Structure 1
Amino acid sequence: MAIFTNLLEKAAARINEIRQSCTSYKIGKTGMLLESRLNEPDYKDDYTSIEPVYESNSKELCSFAESELINTFIDDPQCDNKKDGDHSIGDNLADTPPFYVYVVSR
């Protein structure tokens, strides 16, 4: 578990860097190519950048990482995520890895 914790700490540090140079951001997860995800209807008109902060071959670890990172930043006024309960395992993820936790920003 120590390796996973270190990866989450690195991801959180990168999100802190991203938030310093944007007006707002949102944390998400995907199994899509990141540029394709940025061009989806829910992001393409609102966000200008996407960056991976965590990668895994496991849907479950990716979902857990996304949940933990959202919980870490949910109270940040720049964070556009809405808290809606526990993490969901593998929803909206492709069937084949890699899976990413990403940050979209504007």
Structure 2
Amino acid sequence: MNNEMKELYKEFSGKGFDIYQVSLDSDKASWILAVQAQKLPWTNVIDPNGFTGLPAMSYNVAATPVNFLIDRRGNITGRNLQGAALRTRVAELTR
């Protein structure tokens, strides 16, 4: 999904769109290598506590990958959108 997110980021990052990616991996070294290899330009953090960590529990994450669109007011305005639906929603939010 990172390739799709790279395209959205490139198109909309100058219009208020940003990505905050949380990895639930337990192997920090592998996670660092993956972020570097994929050249991900947005904020990436890791919670080695996985599904029992605060980020996963706060958003009721039971499986990955998962995404949330959060508007400027902090409201979740989309969840698990992909493809055209994701792009359309991001375009609406960045007008």
Fold similarity call, TM over 0.5: no
> Normalized per residue, which structure has more strand?
1
With structure 2 as the length reference, what TM-score do the two structures score?
A: 0.32
Q: Which has the larger radius of gyration?
A: 2
